[in-house]
Amino acid sequence: MLSFAHWSASWPALLCYVLAAVAHLAGLRRLASAGTLGRDRRDQALIFQAGLLLALLALVSPIAYWSQIFLWVRSLQFLVLALVATGLMVLGAPWQAFRALLSGGSVSGRPDATKGGNGRAAWLFARPALAVILANVIWLGWLLPAITDRALRDPGLALAGHACCLAAGFLFWLQLIGSRPLSPLVSPMRRLTLVVGTVGVMTVLGMVLVFGSGVLYPAYANSAHHVMTVLDDQQLSGAVLWMGVLPALIAVAVALLMRWLNDEESAELSADLHRLLTPRKDAWSARPGFRSR
């Protein structure tokens, strides 16, 4: 039975949270002073702060404590950091607030944040497939047994792993849902294939852990495993990874599919209107009499 009385005091996580939250609120205050803080930005600000708080809780709450003892709790912590918290923060679109803070409150213009100074899209952002593959590689790398077991004994390595998972989560979600003023550069159907590919990767990883007959994470062999064995813990961890990615990614897949259908309907409607409004050319000459050869 897990107890909620255990909390981990991760001072780096607390410091990063305070700095990010205060900087975001200060930027919002400058946007409000400039008269550009509308209701939609307020809603986005709440979403970003919720994601930021969720990331903190994953690192200081009982989840962080029990993730050092049970592998399935560590998998839950990974999902919260890599997918849920980062997804909320990207959806919260904090970039204009941070820009307002750094620029001293000047928010004139709406620059395309997907482009660099030379007018070309940023190299990695312009390659969504590569960016998503890189995010999946980073996630899988930090889930490897050798790295996971070593991070269990090295707090510094564990913090680095959490930071990498968060960065990969940002990279992943920015390709799929966008974050004002950032916009995905590919069509909804191509983004849908990236979602399906990520689900496939996590499914394979989960199946390996669920159906594996050997212990892959020996560092988790501790005295707390008197009810469930380490192998049971490992199999439950695989189930958490396998099933845990589905709610968020299925929701995004449905949204992308609906966006694609709307785009298709809009394109078809535009084509029909164009045909109706374009004057038809008669097959015969408008002048009476025979046409000259």
Predicted confidence (pLDDT) at residue 90 exceeds the cutoff of 50:
yes
The answer to whether residue 119 is domain-embedded is no
Q: Which domain holds residue 270?
A: 11-104+125-275
Hey, CA dihedral for 182, 188, 194, 196, is it positive or negative?
A: positive
**Arithmetic mean of pLDDT, 219-247:** 89
In eight-state DSSP terms, residue 213 is: -
DSSP state of 5: T
**Is 28 among the domain residues?**
yes
Helix (H, G, I), strand (E, B) or coil at 28: helix
Q: What does residue 167 show for φ and ψ, rounded to 5 degrees?
A: -65, -40
Between CA 34 and CA 40 the distance in angstroms is 16
Of residues 267 and 194, the one with the higher pLDDT is 194
Give yes or no for a contact between 21 and 92, defined as CB atoms under 8 angstroms apart. no
Q: How confident is the model at residue 246 (pLDDT cuts 50, 70, 90)?
A: very high
The torsion angles phi and psi of 182, rounded to 5 degrees, stand at -75, 140
CA dist., res. 26 & res. 99, Å (int): 11
Dig out the tokens for 253 from the structure.
């897949």
Q: How confident is the model at residue 273 (pLDDT cuts 50, 70, 90)?
A: very low
Q: What pLDDT was estimated at residue 8?
A: 72
Residue 287 covered by a domain = no
Q: Which residue, 17, 1, 3, 24, is CA-closest to 58?
A: 17
Tokens of 163: 């930071």
Q: What pLDDT does 103 receive?
A: 81
Q: Does residue 139 belong to any structural domain of this protein? A: yes
What pLDDT is recorded for position 234? 93
Q: Which residue has the higher pLDDT, 184 or 135?
A: 135
pLDDT at 87: 94
Q: How high is the pLDDT of residue 49?
A: 96
Asked whether residue 171 is assigned to any structural domain, the reply reads: yes
pLDDT mean across residues, the chain: 83
Structural domain contains residue 282: no
Q: How many domains does the chain have?
A: 1
Band of pLDDT at residue 114, cut at 50, 70 and 90? very low
**Residue 285 placed within a domain:** no
- 291 pLDDT higher than 50: no
Task: Evaluate whether residue 288 is within a structural domain.
Answer: no
Predicted local confidence at residue 213, as pLDDT:
85
